[in-house]
């Protein structure tokens, strides 16, 4: 018989289940919301999190909880964040929880290791072997028995003998050491008057407490990082146990931020990104959950870390499209940072030289405090920007650098300064086709062209990751040596730069670069004359000797049906042009274009950002697009094209009728097949006041789809391909 003292808990599992499940708990087992437990799920035991505690055993017969699973409990803030996000993204809460519980090893205590140090005693008899061990420990200061034995060329028994004699001492310590606490009173750079005023605004917001949101809007090189460092210092002074998250769009930027952070605060922050190994992620997750990791620098997924006392979030380069995750759990990291801060009652700072229209609209409406930095400090000034009309100054046949750009690079080299040639295309060429039959090389089971990477001799699909050696014969007509490369990539531009300037030191910097940190360091030291880079070279780097930026194809982002194309092109060109002239030498940016009259390019040349933004706002408002409306995408994928079309059309037919909602599709997206899966898409546009998430959930509940068709929902999509 069930005892009255028993009670129930609702347990959420990190699985695609619709809701938490109830279990019975004996009175002697004390569980609280956030505790990690194990419970039976079907025929197996599963790990989950207590989501709620309920009085009494209830009327239904329930399975009992197996017991606690250990580890620091999930704080209330992250649990509320999971619930909110599941509703907003129209996902099961278990899918969202899975993004929180990334490192299951972090729920266990840190593993320990035994190390040996020089003791106060001496061995009864000194031998050569023993002396070598003592010399080794003096050189290493501390080491494991295996490392000491290997270093000294002895067996482990020699080490153990020295321990017994007191010549070595044994110490057991945690493998995952705590992170050092930052010092808010460390010496920073001397701020200009404008920077000091901006920092003062942020410090006042920090002192006000509770949820505060600020848009730190500063031109490239204006010192935004130093300004938000002052806000971080203020938070640390106010709350000794405060935790702070700094989000970055690219892993490649972390090295520069880490060195600046350590110089300012005297401690290295914890790191969280996909490039970190399991051990580093285990350590960071556990130290964050225990409240001991005070500062975290991370990518968008760091938003899901279980901070118990999160007091500030900084989103650096907040406009960057890489904050949007399209696959798996689709979300916009910038927007969720604001939500997480609001839930936690924390401060959020969005920093950018080219803020997103969404953030600017919030600043204009008074929801964010707008903090502006309109100039670079000291003698550094913004670069002069001009266009090269390719209709008047075309490049030579088979080349991509126009005569005016070549002359500008030559003058820069003669002055001993650096140039950046920018093209947002990886590889050597974006298209490979047969001169004989016109066959185009595409990735198997997709409609994506294979990109030639000449340095590796392979053709690569940048959508699926498929790669293959470049064939000797055309797969279409079997003609020998008939495959030719069409269009430029960074490898091709670098090849042209080397031919044009044979004495120059030329390097390529893209997301394919294996030694990205080394390339950045070499550029900072002046060991590179011409850097040929993709968008990664335009993000947050400070190259003192760089005075010329040449944009090979300023028109590249303007084509297609993306409603954000103009905004993204403007942001990218501002960011890449802003790499020039960041020290005392003036900079110059030249944009090669066939459309010098385009609004984005004209606004950039005139330095009239507000005029461009006003026009973008007007167009978006007239169409009811973000930030004046809401968008969502419903994606369909199936191996069977006939089934796919039938299911997508049936789904569209069952859309609820509602004022202020427009439904477009189903239609074939530009990439209509990926990895053998055919694709269709429905776009939903809603007026701003409509709860589009609730509408999509009601719609999805009306439809049952067969297992052969995958259906995905993306609230506020950023990719339209």
Residue 583 banded pLDDT, cuts 50, 70, 90:
low
Burial class (CB in 10 A: 0-12, 13-18, 19+), 531: buried
Residue 2 banded pLDDT, cuts 50, 70, 90:
very low
The answer on pLDDT for 3 being more than 60 is no
Distance CA 61, CA 301 (A): 39
- Measured from the Cβ of residue 24, the count of other Cβ atoms closer than 10 Å reads 18
The answer on pLDDT for 442 being more than 70 is yes
User: Alpha carbon 582 to chain centroid distance?
Assistant: 25
| 80-93 residue pLDDT tens | 999 999 999 999 99
The answer on pLDDT for 682 being more than 90 is yes
* Alpha helices, DSSP H, located in 513-564: 516-524
Model-level pTM? 0.83
pLDDT given for residue 678 in this prediction: 92
pLDDT given for residue 700 in this prediction: 94
Cα angle 262, 267, 270 (rounded to 5 degrees) comes to 95
Distance CA 321, CA 356 (A): 10
| 50-89 residue pLDDT tens | 999 998 887 788 999 999 998 889 999 999 999 999 999 9
* φ, ψ of residue 350 in degrees (nearest 5): -105, 120
**HEC profile of 573-618:** HHHHHCCCCCCCCCCEEEEEECCCCCHHHHHHHHCCHHHHHHHHHH
Residue 16 banded pLDDT, cuts 50, 70, 90:
very high
| 544-554 residue pLDDT tens | 888 898 988 88
Report the percentage of the chain scoring pLDDT > 90.
48
């Amino acid at each position: 018989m069930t005892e009255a003292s028993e009670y129930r808990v609702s347990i959420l599992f990190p699985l695609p289940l619709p809701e938490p499940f109830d279990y019975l708990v004996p009175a002697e087992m004390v569980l609280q919301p956030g505790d990690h437990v194990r419970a039976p799920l079907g025929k197996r035991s599963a790990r989950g999190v207590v989501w709620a505690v309920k009085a009494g055993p209830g009327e239904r017969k329930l399975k009992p909880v197996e017991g606690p699973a250990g580890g620091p409990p999930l704080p209330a803030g992250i649990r509320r964040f999971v619930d909110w996000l599941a509703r907003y993204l129209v996902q099961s809460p278990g899918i969202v929880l899975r993004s929180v519980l990334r490192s299951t090893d972090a729920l266990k205590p840190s593993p320990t290791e035994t190390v040996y140090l020089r003791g106060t005693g001496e061995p009864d008899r000194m031998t050569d072997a023993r002396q070598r061990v003592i010399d080794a420990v003096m050189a290493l200061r501390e080491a494991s028995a295996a490392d000491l034995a290997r270093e000294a060329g002895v067996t482990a028994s020699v080490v153990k003998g020295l321990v017994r004699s007191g010549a070595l001492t044994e110490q057991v310590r945690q493998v995952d050491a705590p992170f050092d606490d930052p010092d808010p009173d460390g010496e920073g750079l001397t701020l200009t008057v404008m920077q000091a005023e901006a920092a003062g605004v942020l410090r006042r917001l920090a002192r006000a407490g509770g949820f505060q949101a600020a848009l730190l809007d500063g031109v490239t090189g204006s010192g935004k990082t130093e300004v938000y460092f002052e806000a971080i210092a203020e938070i640390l002074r106010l709350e000794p146990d405060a935790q702070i998250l700094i989000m970055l769009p690219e892993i490649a930027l972390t090295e520069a931020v880490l060195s600046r952070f350590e110089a300012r605060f005297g401690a290295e922050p914890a790191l969280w990104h996909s490039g970190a190994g399991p051990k580093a992620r285990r350590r960071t997750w556990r130290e964050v959950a225990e409240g001991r990791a005070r500062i975290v620098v991370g990518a968008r997924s760091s938003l899901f870390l279980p901070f118990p006392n999160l007091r500030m979030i900084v989103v650096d380069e907040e406009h960057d499209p890489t904050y949007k995750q399209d696959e798996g759990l689709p979300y916009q990291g910038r927007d969720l940072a604001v939500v997480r801060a609001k839930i936690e009652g924390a401060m959020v700072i969005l920093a950018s030289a080219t803020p997103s229209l969404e953030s600017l609209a919030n600043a204009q409406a008074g929801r964010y405090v707008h903090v502006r930095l309109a100039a670079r400090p000291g003698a550094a000034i913004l670069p002069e920007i001009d266009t090269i009309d390719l209709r008047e100054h075309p490049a030579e046949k088979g080349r991509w650098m126009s005569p005016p750009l070549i002359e500008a690079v030559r003058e820069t080299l003669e002055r001993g300064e650096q140039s950046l040639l920018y093209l947002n295309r990886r590889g050597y060429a974006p298209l490979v086709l047969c001169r004989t039959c016109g066959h185009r090389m595409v990735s198997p089971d997709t409609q994506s062209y294979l990109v030639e990477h000449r340095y590796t001799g392979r053709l690569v699909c940048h959508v699926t990751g498929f790669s293959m050696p470049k064939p000797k014969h055309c797969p279409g007509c079997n003609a020998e040596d008939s495959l030719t490369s069409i269009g430029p990539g960074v490898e091709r531009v670098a090849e042209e730069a080397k031919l044009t300037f044979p004495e120059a030191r030329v390097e390529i910097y893209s997301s394919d670069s294996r030694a990205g940190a080394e390339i950045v360091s070499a550029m900072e030291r002046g060991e590179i004359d011409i850097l040929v880079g993709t968008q990664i070279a335009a993000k947050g780097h400070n190259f003192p000797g760089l005075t010329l930026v040449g944009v090979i194809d300023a028109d590249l982002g303007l084509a297609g049906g993306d409603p954000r194309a103009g905004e993204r092109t403007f942001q990218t060109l501002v960011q890449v042009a802003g790499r020039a002239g960041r020290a005392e030498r003036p900079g110059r940016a030249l944009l090669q274009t066939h459309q010098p009259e385009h609004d984005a390019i004209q606004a950039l040349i005139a330095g009239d950002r507000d005029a461009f933004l006003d026009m973008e706002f007007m167009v978006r408002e007239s169409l009811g697009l973000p930030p004046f409306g809401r968008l969502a995408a419903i994606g369909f994928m199936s191996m069977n094209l006939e089934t796919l079309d039938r299911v997508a059309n049936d789904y569209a037919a069952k859309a609820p009728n509602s004022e202020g909602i427009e439904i477009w599709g189903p239609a074939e997206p530009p990439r209509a097949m990926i990895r053998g899966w055919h694709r269709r898409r429905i776009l939903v546009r809603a007026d701003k006041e409509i709860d589009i998430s609730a509408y999509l959930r009601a719609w999805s509940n009306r439809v049952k789809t067969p297992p052969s068709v995958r259906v995905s929902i993306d609230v506020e999509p950023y990719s339209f391909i």
